[in-house]
Every structure is written in C-alpha cells, then in structure tokens.
Structure 1
Amino acid sequence: MNVAEWKKAPDHPVKVIQFGEGNFLRGFVDWMIHKMNEQNLFNGSVAVVQPLAKGLLPILESQNYTYTHYLKGIKNQEPVIEYYKNTALSVGINPYEDFESYLSLAHIETASIIVSNTTEAGIVFDSKDQLDMEASVTYPGKLTRLMYERYEAFKGDPDKGYIVLPCELIDNNADRLKEAVMAYIDLWNLGETFKTWVEKSNQFCNTLVDRIVPGYPKENIKTIWEELGYEDQLVVESEQFNLWVIQGNDKVQQAFPADEAGCQVLFVDDVTPYKVRKVRILNGAHTTLVPVAYLYGIETVLESVEDPQINQFLMKAIFDEIIPTLTLSKEALEIYAAEVILRFKNPFVKHYLMSISLNSMSKYQTRVLPSLLAYFDQNSKLPKRLVAALASYMVFYRGEYAGKKIAIVDNEDILKLYKDAWKQYDGSKTSLVDVVEAVLGYEPNWKGNLNHIPGLRDQVVNYVSIILDEGMENLIHAVEDED
C-alpha cells in the first residue's frame, strides 16, 4: 500500500492557515487538530502555505496531504510507541508559484486561525519587501498581504479578523510578529483604517510551545516502513509530552478547543510565568545536570536519571532550589517538574550530555543563575546544588578531567577566558582562587560580577577543590552531608 492510496477523512472546511510544513507543526499543531476532529470538537482542516520557494509541498501533495505520526515516550508512567494517520491537512499552496491561490485563502470565511513556525529568524521586517511583489520574502510580509486581502474582501468587517498563533521560539513571538506587520502597513501606505482593523479585529497571541519533534527518521526509516507496511516519505516522530500555552481569551479557546480533546493547551492571561517555568525547570535542570553527570562518568540524560546518586542530586536541585524561587503555584510547578523527569526517562531518546553542553556559560546565565540569585535573596544562603553545578562547569571547561579530553564548544571569548584562567593554576589554593575569581568576574557573560555575591567565591573554590582532589562522587556526597 502507498500513502497516496489512503482515503482522506470526511472533508472539513479550512479553518486554519498554516505557514510552515515542517516536522514540528505536523507533529504538534496538526496533531492537536487531528485529535479535535476525531472527537468532533473542531471539524476543520488546514491549508498549508510553504514559506520558502522550495519545500515539502510536492511530497505532501503526492501523499494526499496525509502522513504517519509516531509518538514515542512515557505515557501513563509507561514507555509507549504508537502511531496514527494524520488527516488534518487538506490543501497546500506555494505562494511563489501560485500567488493568486495564496490570496484566495483570505476569502475563505471559515479560515480564521493563523499558525506558523518559520524558525526564530522568520519573524523579521525587511524594507526590501514591496506590496507589488507576488510573494514577500519574509513571513510577516506575506501575512500582511494576506490580511489586507481579507480586509478588502470582507469590507473591513470587524468579525472577520484572524486569531494569530505563532510557534516561533522567541520571546513575545506574537508581539514581535504584530510589530513587523504594522511596519509593513506603514511601508506600503495601506492606510489608518486598515491598521485600526488589524489592531482591533485581530488577536495576536503570544505562545509557548513544548514538545520534542526530531527531524525525519532517515536512519531507521526502512524499519519503520516495514513495520507500517507502506512507504511514507513524511513520517513524523515526537515524544508523547505536549504543552502549548496561549495568551488568549475565551474567544480563542472557543475557536481552538484543543484542551477539550486531551491536549495540554493552556489559555492564560500572561504566558511569561510559564516561559520562566520552562526555562528554569526544564532547561535549567538540563544545564545543572550536564557537568555533574558528565564528570561523574555518565554520557546521556537517561543514564543520569537512572543513576540513584545523580537522580537524587537533580531532584533536590529542582524541587528544593529551583521551584521555591518561581511564582506559579507550588502544585503546578511540581506537576510540571514531575513531567520533566518523565521526559528525561524517555527510553526512545538518546540525549547526549555533550550535545546539551554547547554554549553552557550563557545557558547557565539565563537558565540557572536567576534561580541561584532568587534563592539567595529569599534565604540569605546559597543553593548548594546550583553552586555545585557552577563549580563543575569550571572543571568541565578546563577541557580535561581524569586523564580524558573534553571537547568544549563555546564562543571564542569564553574558551579564551578558561584557557587563560587555568594557565595560572599550579595546584595551590591561592592559584585556584585566582581561577575562580577570573571566571566569576567575567561580566560580559554574567551581566555583572559574581564575586560580589557573599560566599559564592569561597563555596565554588571549595567545591572545585573537592572535584579535583577527590572526584565528582565525593562532591555529591559532600553536598548531601551539608543538608
């Protein structure tokens, strides 16, 4: 059997215009739409707009806009692999080849939701984009042109505006997108009445997305095809976990009721606390874990959480040192943290610590340091495990440990900082203090001088000394003994 021979689900009107046909949207948003359709909660389909001149639309068309989605991860506390045929998509358009059909999307009355994932670099303004171009170079330019077409088609009807849900991984993604759209309105002299319609009749909703959707599984695709019994050129793999936080009102929830279909979609007044939660717990846990587990002799995240000592270290870092510094309810934070640990235990994902270690100094500054500072402000003492992670990074960035080279990847200034700092180390306590002071005092990374935090320098020196003289396992024991 070939995918193209699949019979499509009952025809649904286009309700979503989707900029992007890549793995993430198909394994995240389109999965939600498929689930809603299965439960008769949405009864709508997706028109896919290819944001670049070259893309996957020819393959999608050859497969009748259907594809297989594998979900591999922890579900109900158990490792689960399941797959299904996604039929959420109904049509695809390449605006570079058929601009008229692209503009016709604006005339579809039911198409009231815009979603996008054009990468972090996609939401930009380019003054070279012109109104008379058949297809703007940028996504905001394309969206502005589509919105103007809709405004004219429905004569400025205030009920015909869009709900705009960007998935790009940038802060305030909808605000940034709206700013670019407004800039194009001014550049193209589209008028104040249109600008007012965009402002008052359209909702640009900041969002936070959270699901691991790797690339096309080319390494084992033949095995997958054998298991499926057919060839699918667009197989999507994802973890089971999903979370979409949308800064939107009841109208947005009613238009996109994915939460009622069993998807983890939250409609909130402000996405910021959830963004902070993700950065500090999920990303912060990764960044805290890497040097400790690696110097302990472990290579992957899964092995880390399976090791009793490392797992206990990580759990206490999250629940005792990170969560108390956050503003959401303790219950919500602890539920999310438990889900994070389950994701780390996903047996189908081999997540190497070294791959996470890329640019760890800036990651520590954004993901872990805020928790350290908040903890100190609240308790007038330092969080031992977050400090231990910082000390471990100092040893990690030396580039060698226990006779083994460590391939550090970071910006040149960071590499030079550590190279120069460790050059002066001669095994003495005084020279170790110099190393630690040099790193803590590097303001371009920390946005300040960490030597000014009472007790931090001495505690880092002590922890680094234990690692160098006694090994990482003894540092973990020492931290536990301090409790």
Structure 2
Amino acid sequence: MMETLNRKLLPSIHTPGLEIGPQKEYPVKVMQFGEGNFLRAFIDWMIDKSNEAGKFNGMVQLVQPLPQGTADLINAQDGLYTLILRGMENGAPAEYKRIITCVKGCLKTDSDWEAIVKCAVSPDLQLVFSNTTEAGIEYKPEPYTPGKTQVTYPAKLTSLLFERFKAGQKGLVLVPCELIDKNGSTLRDCILRYAADWKLGAGFENYVKEECAFMNTLVDRIVAGYPRNEAADWCNKLGYQDNLIDCGEIFHLFVIEGDEKYRAVIPFAEAGLHVVWTKNQTPYRSRKVRFLNGGHTSSVLAAYQAGFDFVDQMTGDKLFGNYLRTALFEEVFPTVQLPDDEKKAFAESIIERFLNPFANHQLISISLNSISKWQVRVLPSLIDYEKINGKLPKVLAFSFAALLSFYRGTVDAAGNWSGKRAAGAYPIRDDAEKIAFLNAEFDRLKQSGDYEAFIRTVMARTDFWGMDLNTIPGFTARAAADLRSIDELGITPAVEKLLEK
C-alpha cells in the first residue's frame, strides 16, 4: 500500500519529471479564504513558484470558510498536494507536475476561530487572498460576535481586521479573486458597512481606508480539480497516495488593478509569471468574463442536462459546439469594445482551451452558484446585445431558461438539493433559499401551467439578478417560450429548434 503524501515523505520522492517546491519552512505571510481547487492551482502555485525564485519566501495559511470542505484532507497531507498542468504548447501536448509545498495547513472558521485570529494578528502576515465565488463578497446585516466567526466572508474579514487593528499591527494587502467587477473595492465597501453597523469606531474605519490596500483583480486559468477517474493511475505513476491532486491548464493570467508600490508584496511578475499590473482592468475583465466565463455559464447547464459531463465533450459536439460558437461569435462578440481582430483571436483561443483534451473540466463543477454567475457573466452581454440590435440574443436568452430547468429538483432531509437528468441525479449547489424559492415557483407552475406568470415572478427577484429582468424588452415572453420548449421537447430537441431559427 502506497504511503500518503506528507512532509517526511518528500526526500524519498524521485518521480521523473516531478517538480517539488521549496521545502524550507517560511513564515506565514498569506491568509487565504478558500481551500478549493482554483486557488490551489492558481494563487498557491504562484506563491510556490515565487518561493522557488527567491522572490517571496512565505507560507500560506488556508482557511475553510464553510462548514464543508477539504481542510481535513489538506491537514492529513501536511498541506501538500500535487498540481498537474496539461495542455497544448506550440502545437504539441505538454504536461507539468509539481508538489506544492507553500501551504502551512487549513483552519476551519467554525471550529478554529481562535487560531485564525492568532494568524490574523501575526506581524508576519502581509496578504489576504480569497475566492468565495461571485456570491461570497456581499453585505448582509448580521450582529457582531467577537470571539466567534461571522457569517459572510466580508463580516469575517471585518472581525479579523478589527483584531489586527486592536493589536497595533500594520494593515494588510487584500487581494480577492472572486469574479465580480471591482472586487477589491466592493470588499472594502462591505467591510466599512460592517464597521459602521458594529460601531467599531472612526479609528478602525480610517485603518481600513488608509492602512489596508484593496486590489481589484481578474484571474484566468481553467481548473478541472481532482481527476476522479484518473486518480488511481496518477498515484501509481507518482509513487504515493495523493487525495488532493489538482489539475488545470497551463495557461494563466493574473491582472491586478492597484498601486504598483505593492509589487514588492506580490512579486509574482518578478518570478516570471504572467501577471499584469494596470490602472484599469476593465478591458481585460470584459474580454475574459464575457467570452470565457460567459461561454461556460451560457452553455454548461444546457449541455449537462443533455448528458455531457466535460467541457471538451460539449465543445466537440456538433450541436452544442454550434450552440457555444453562436453565443461567442455572434452574441458576445459585438458587446465587447475591442478591435474585431483581437476579439476574434481571443474567442478562437477560448474554443481551443475548451477543447483541451487534458483538462477534464467537469460541467457539474462549473454549475456551482450559477445564479450569481449568470448575473455577472451572461446578463451584461444580453443587455448590451439587445441595445445594439433591438432584439434578444437567442442563445444567451435561452441559457436563462436552461438555468431554471437545471435548478428544478427535490430536497432531502439534510437540506441537500438534487436535480435529475437521464443519467441520474445531480447536486444543485447554490444558496439554499434561492433554490427553495425557484422550486416553490415550479410547484405553482405545475398547478397553473402559466409559464409567463412563473417567469415574471422569478425575473422580478432583483436580489437574484441585480435588476428586474422583466424590464428587458421581450425577455419575459422569450424565457417563458424557451422553458416551455425545454419541458415539452427535452433539452436537446429544444436546442436544435433554437438553432434552426
């Protein structure tokens, strides 16, 4: 039986082609909220590479912000895991394997709050990274509970920064990686609202404004995560058991909008990584969010219901590949304010990345928190297309009905929601209140058969979509017709009918 990856095992590992990050125990300079696949394949990889280049020399303390997560697995492996990056380079397959060694371990907010506070007030700490999905950076009124964890991520951070302020420690550089516009500025605004709610004082508010720095960022790397179907083979090749193998593509881009004086604190570019410092990330964000992320969110929920499991399968299929290309080249394309040749090249690169045969990017993993993702990734293109052309984009509009169809399901005694497709049940992972609301409306639809009334009610939830979607000309009727088509024909025939128009 193979030994599970741990620090003591490292000196005995001699797998050909396997890189092993620095094994020196550096001080913890980073607190990271989110222990999931993306940050481990993106930020922690960058820190590991920067340590190797002698540019950072710091460790990362992961924090699991939710009750469920991978903290126990991470701690069982002393923070170590293998990252596998695969893709095409210069027209040929390429693969890189690396044991990431910069992670100290993982603490849980619901059981390790005292240890998290201790880390937060450490004089060695410089940076806070996060990826709590688009739904994570939000303000929801809640009471201050000193000595215990708060509910929302910004409230947790407010509490920790207040402890750091009281301890007389210098401010931190906060680098959110959530895919919302002006993520750093939004996080700062949420923290200041909590500070005011909790009456933490003008001194603390000035500390947040003047001594802490909030970067606006854009991240880009497709991360598939744990290669469930290949894991046993990978462990045999590596020569050790790794329950946290993480897989992603080779391509990476990190755009940071902020004062370049913080380059010394975030020295990723100096380590040779693809990092862009800019005074305006908007063009980068619009291009990436609308084409790549919008391409995902507008297509995967329909494709998953049709029986596809992976992005490359969906993209390579004649029907759903056409569905995706229609969304990108005909509907998103005119809404991005960049030269046509640049947009065309970027859109084509997205198709190439989606077709990456090594990515194993699961559609079901992309489905997480699709309500907030659709609002951020798809809705802006839909609105702009309608304004430009005086009509709705058929695929982007259809993706709304496909989202609703995906969210139709049942709940078990533990409060877990699941939907059903021909291949069996699947998890619906989003805010439980949102899922419950949609399914209560589906129950009413089943009784009434009134699709327009159902859509009108759902679209009116401004807390879901950031606006009343009924105000978009023709969208209520279109979404009702699309959902009826899915229900009466099935998802694949409905897509076929859509593309015939």
Say whether the fold is shared (TM-score over 0.5).
Answer: yes
Aligned match of 2:419: none
Partner residue of 2:313 out of 303, 324, 336:
303
Which residue is equivalent to 1:143?
160
Distance apart, 1:387 and its partner CA: 6.2
Query: For residues 333 and 419 of structure 1, do their structure 2 counterparts lie closer, same or farther at Cα, with a shift above 3 Å needed?
Result: farther
By how many angstroms is 1:165 displaced?
0.9
Among 261, 264, 268, the alignment partner of 1:251 is: 261
Deviation at 1:227, TM superposition (A): 1.5
Question: Could you tell me which residue of structure 1 aligns to residue 39 of structure 2?
Answer: 25
Task: Name the structure 2 match of 1:4.
Answer: 7
The one of 231, 247, 250 aligned to 2:241: 231
Equivalent residue runs for 1:11-90 within 5 Å: 11-49=25-63, 60=74, 63-76=77-90, 78-90=92-104
Maintained 8 Å contact 1:441/1:450: no
Give yes or no for the alignment of 1:265 onto 2:269. no
Match for residue 388 of structure 2? 378
Cα 1:248/1:225, change in 2 over 3 Å: same
- Identify the residue that residue 197 of structure 1 maps to in structure 2: 207
Q: Which amino acid aligns with 1:147?
A: R
Structure 1: which 5+ residue stretches go unaligned? 154-159, 425-434
- Distance change in 2, residues 1:370/1:181 (3 Å): closer
Matches within 5 A, 1:317-336: 317-328=327-338, 330=340, 333-336=343-346
Task: Check whether the contact 1:141–1:181 (CA below 8 A) recurs between aligned residues.
Answer: yes
Contact 2:120 2:161 in 1 (8 A): no
Task: Name the aligned partner's letter for residue 439 of structure 2.
Answer: E
**Equivalent pair of 2:394/2:498 in contact (CA under 8 Å):** no
Contact 1:325 1:371 survives alignment (8 Å)? yes
Per-residue deviation, 1:74: 4.8
Report if aligned partners of 1:281, 1:337 keep a CA contact under 8 Å in 2: yes
Q: How does 1:34-433 map to 2 (within 5 A)?
A: 34-49=48-63, 60=74, 63-76=77-90, 78-90=92-104, 99=114, 102-103=117-118, 106-109=121-124, 111-117=125-131, 120-121=135-136, 126-130=142-146, 133=147, 139-149=156-166, 152-153=168-169, 160-168=170-178, 172-183=182-193, 185-186=195-196, 190-213=200-223, 216-217=226-227, 220-271=230-281, 274-289=284-299, 301-308=311-318, 310-328=320-338, 330=340, 333-348=343-358, 367-368=377-378, 370-380=380-390, 383=393, 386=396, 411-412=438-439, 415=442, 419=446
Shift of 1:37: 2.4
What is the DSSP-based 3-state SS (H/G/I as helix, E as strand, rest coil) of the residue aligned with 1:42? coil
- Contact 1:144 1:184 (8 Å CA) reproduced: no
Q: 2:468 aligns with which of 426, 444, 447?
A: 447
Distance 1:59 1:168, change over 3 A: same
TM-score, length basis structure 1: 0.70
Matched residue of 1:315: which SS? Answer: helix
Letter in 1 for 2:51: N
How big is each residue's C-alpha offset from its partner over 1:390-417, in whole Å with a ceiling of 9 and x where there is no partner?
A: 7999999999xxxx89999872366357
Q: Contact 1:163 / 1:202 at 8 angstroms: preserved in 2? A: yes
Number of equivalent positions: 451
Q: 1:147 to 1:178 in 2, by over 3 A?
A: farther
Q: CA distance change for structure 1 residues 439 and 397 in 2, over 3 Å: closer, same or farther?
A: farther
What is aligned with 2:14? none
DSSP 3-state at the match of 1:197: helix
State the partner residue of 1:428: none
In 1, are the aligned partners of 2:117 and 2:160 still within 8 Å (CA)?
Answer: no
Residue 431 (structure 1) aligns with: none
**Alpha-carbon spacing, 1:41–1:413, altered in 2? closer, same or farther (3 Å):** same
Tell me which amino acid in the other structure corresponds to 1:139: K
- Residue identity (%): 35
Deviations 1:59-88 (A, max 9, x none): 655644432222244555555443211122
Change (3 A) 1:77 1:164: farther
Compared with structure 1, are the counterparts of its residues 444 and 338 closer, same or farther at alpha carbon in structure 2 (3 Å cutoff)?
same
TM-score normalised by the chain length of structure 2: 0.68
167-176 or 351-360, larger mean C-alpha shift: 351-360
Counterparts in 2 of 1:77 and 1:381: CA distance versus 1, 3 Å: farther
Shift of 1:33: 0.8
Letter in 2 for 1:27: A
Letter in 2 for 1:230: Y
Distance 2:456 2:406 in 1: 18
CA deviation map 1:206-240 (0-9, x unaligned): 33444444555566543332111012343333343
Alpha carbons of 1:23 and 1:360: their partners in 2 closer, same or farther (altered >3 Å)? closer
Counterpart of 2:53, as a letter, is Q
CA distance in 1, matches of 2:258, 2:6: 37
Which 5+ residue runs of structure 2 have no aligned equivalent?
Answer: 12-21, 410-421, 429-434, 462-466
| Contact 1:392-1:464 within 8 A present in 2 as well | no
